[in-house]
Structure 1
Amino acid sequence: MRLLPVNLTYFLEVARSGSVTEAAQVLGVAPSAVSRQIAKLESGLGIALFARHPRGMTLTDAGSRLLAHARRTETESAALVEELRTGRGAEERDVRVACSEGFARRLVPRAMAGFRSEHPDVSFRLDVVPRREATRRVVEGIADVAVTYAMGPQYDVRVECAVVVPVCAVVPLGHELAGRDRIGLAELCAHPLALAPPGSSQRELFDIGVQLEGLTVRPALVCDSLAPGYEFVRAGGGLALVGDLGDLGGDGGAEGVTHVRVDHPVFRQREAQVQTAAGRRLPWPATRFTQSLAAMLSPRHPSGPAATQREG
């Protein structure tokens, strides 16, 4: 059963398939009916939602924005229908979380465990995905909350909490830099480095900083996962970079490493954010858990990063 308006339903199918004909087959209607609904929607909005090509249709920027809204509405509608059919209240729903890997290492699982100690009837679904994918899932209603890094203004999301997170070098015990409180970018780059791949926020900022300082760096290891980087450092391969989310001081020694702050203004351009969809009303477990996450990420929290917070 669909609760979406007909024009949005047709729009979704065309966006998914890239073809009026294929969308009509899925919907079980004539292609002309689909075309009329799309034309009516575009006329009402006063803007083109699709770019027409000989072999199909692609979304315009406006169409992409509408698609995110339609998918979010579709997800919420499906959840409401399920609740009405089963008699389950919204308060019994699971909480769906999307986060990038740095947050999945400790902060988010600890927040989940702490929340379940007070609300044992709440279950979680955690998906560890790239930072932009985490935001996309919240925008489209696939996830209730995202915990991820961001640079620049964010659209279609409500930023519940934003913290500028310091960046630290992962240094093996006994290394010449191990006893330092902080180091500069040039000192860091004098050693072999394990870095995130191009496209990650940390690597983007690192590359900008290196360019500003006139440094030349050829990474010893490029990897999109934290665990191999840590093992590379422990084995004496070099140094690595990690965001300090307040979870680096506890067991570094037990892991055979220590963490030293990298002091460069370029890293202050990135924020750790807790995000929810703009305009969406979350069920109470997701709302409360979002508040818990924001509190844990706060620099005022005992385990939060010692940085500047901005609340949305």
Structure 2
Amino acid sequence: MQLLPVNLAYFLEVARTGSVTEAAHALNVAPSAISRQVAKLESGIGVPLFARHPRGMTLTEAGSRLLAHARRTETESTTLVEELRTGRGAEARSVAVACSEGFARRLVPRAIADFRCAHPDVAFRVDVVARQEATRRVVEGLADVAVTYTMGPQHDVRVECAVVVPVAAIVPLGHELADRDRIGLADLCAYPLALASPGTSQRELFDIGAQLEGITVRPALVCDSLAPQYEFVRAGGGLALVGDLGDIEQSAATEGVTYVPVDHPVFRQREAQVQTATGRRPSWSATQFTELLVTSLRRDRSP
């Protein structure tokens, strides 16, 4: 059942397909009806939503913003209809979580396990994605909540919680740095390093810190997944970096590594955030789980 206004539904389908003809085919209506509703929408808003090309249509900046709104509205409408039909919206539904990999290792799955102890009929989907993608999924209604790293203010989402996350070096057991209380970048860079790619927040801050220190680094391994980095360290290939969410020491022995804090002010620019959408009615389950994530993140970062 469709709760979206007709013009918004038609706009959404054109945005998905990039063509009035394909949108009309998908919706089983005349192309002229699609064109008329999109034109009315553009006229009412007062700005063009699409750039017309011989082979299709692409969204303008205004169209992209309206698309994010339309997707949020569509997702909320679908959820509401399902809750009304089943009468189970307050207690049983699925919660979609988008998070970057550091949070998927322990914080998010542990929070899910805790939540399901009290609410076993709630199911979860966790998508492990890049930090910007996690935020985008919440903005567009593809996820109920995101747990991700950020640098700088966030304008398109509601930040439920934000904490500064220090960085620790992943060091092999028995390594000469393993007994240090903390190390500097110069200490770290004296060894082969496994680093994330330049597009990640941790690598961006590392590169800034190295530049400030006048250190030239050529990573021995570049990989955005943590599992190969851990294995690289355990095998004696060198050192790596990980965000210290406050829980890493709990499993250090079983992971066969030691964690040593890296002392440099540049890493204080990064925050871990729990994000939800603005202007969208969350389900009861999503609201309660978000509160649990906030509590878990704050607890893990407590001194």
Q: TM-score, normalised by structure 1?
A: 0.92
Partner letter of residue 99 of structure 2?
Answer: C
Match of 2:141? Answer: 141
Match of 1:83? Answer: 83
Residues of 1 paired with 2:110 and 2:92: CA distance?
21
Residues of 2 paired with 1:214 and 1:49: CA distance?
48
Residues of 2 paired with 1:295 and 1:88: CA distance?
26
Q: Contact between 2:91 and 2:119, CA under 8 Å: does it hold in 1? A: no
Matched ranges for 1:205-244 at <5 A? 205-244=205-244
Residues of 1 paired with 2:302 and 2:131: CA distance?
19
Match of 2:196? Answer: 196
Residues of 1 paired with 2:163 and 2:58: CA distance?
36
* Match among 304, 308, 312 for residue 301 of structure 2: 304
Match of 1:283? Answer: 283
Q: Contact between 1:169 and 1:262, CA under 8 Å: does it hold in 2? A: yes
Q: 1:212 to 1:44 in 2, by over 3 A?
A: farther
SS at match of 2:254: coil
SS at match of 1:254: helix
Residues of 2 paired with 1:27 and 1:155: CA distance?
34
1:55-81 deviations in Å (ceiling 9; x for gaps): 222112222121111111111111222
How many residues are treated as equivalent by the alignment?
303
Match of 1:179? Answer: 179
Tell me if 1:25 matches 2:22. no
Residue range with higher mean Cα deviation, 240-249 or 199-208 = 199-208
1:8-29 deviations in Å (ceiling 9; x for gaps): 1111111111112221222222
Residues of 2 paired with 1:191 and 1:167: CA distance?
17
Residues of 2 paired with 1:154 and 1:92: CA distance?
31
Identity %: 79
Match of 2:73? Answer: 73
Aligned-residue offset at 1:305:
5.4
SS at match of 1:91: coil
Q: Contact between 2:185 and 2:262, CA under 8 Å: does it hold in 1? A: yes
Q: Contact between 1:169 and 1:259, CA under 8 Å: does it hold in 2? A: yes
Partner letter of residue 286 of structure 2?
Answer: A
Q: Contact between 1:252 and 1:258, CA under 8 Å: does it hold in 2? A: yes
Aligned-residue offset at 1:147:
0.7
Partner letter of residue 36 of structure 1?
Answer: R
Q: 1:213 to 1:58 in 2, by over 3 A?
A: farther
Partner letter of residue 256 of structure 1?
Answer: G
SS at match of 2:248: coil
Residues of 2 paired with 1:83 and 1:67: CA distance?
24
Q: 1:305 to 1:240 in 2, by over 3 A?
A: farther
Unaligned runs of 5+ in 2: none
SS at match of 1:95: strand
Residue range with higher mean Cα deviation, 237-246 or 74-83 = 74-83
Residues of 2 paired with 1:305 and 1:187: CA distance?
27
1:133-173 deviations in Å (ceiling 9; x for gaps): 22122112221111111122223211100111001110112
Q: Contact between 1:165 and 1:305, CA under 8 Å: does it hold in 2? A: no
Match of 1:57? Answer: 57
Q: 1:172 to 1:205 in 2, by over 3 A?
A: same
Aligned-residue offset at 1:34:
1.8
Residues of 2 paired with 1:29 and 1:112: CA distance?
43
Matched ranges for 1:129-168 at <5 A? 129-168=129-168
Match of 1:310? Answer: none
Residues of 1 paired with 2:181 and 2:50: CA distance?
54
Unaligned runs of 5+ in 1: 307-312
Residues of 2 paired with 1:255 and 1:115: CA distance?
26
Partner letter of residue 144 of structure 1?
Answer: D
Partner letter of residue 301 of structure 2?
Answer: G
SS at match of 1:251: helix
Q: 1:212 to 1:40 in 2, by over 3 A?
A: farther
Partner letter of residue 233 of structure 1?
Answer: V
Aligned-residue offset at 1:96:
1.7
Two-structure CA RMSD over aligned residues (Å)? 1.6
Residues of 1 paired with 2:33 and 2:76: CA distance?
26
Partner letter of residue 108 of structure 1?
Answer: V
Residues of 1 paired with 2:33 and 2:284: CA distance?
40
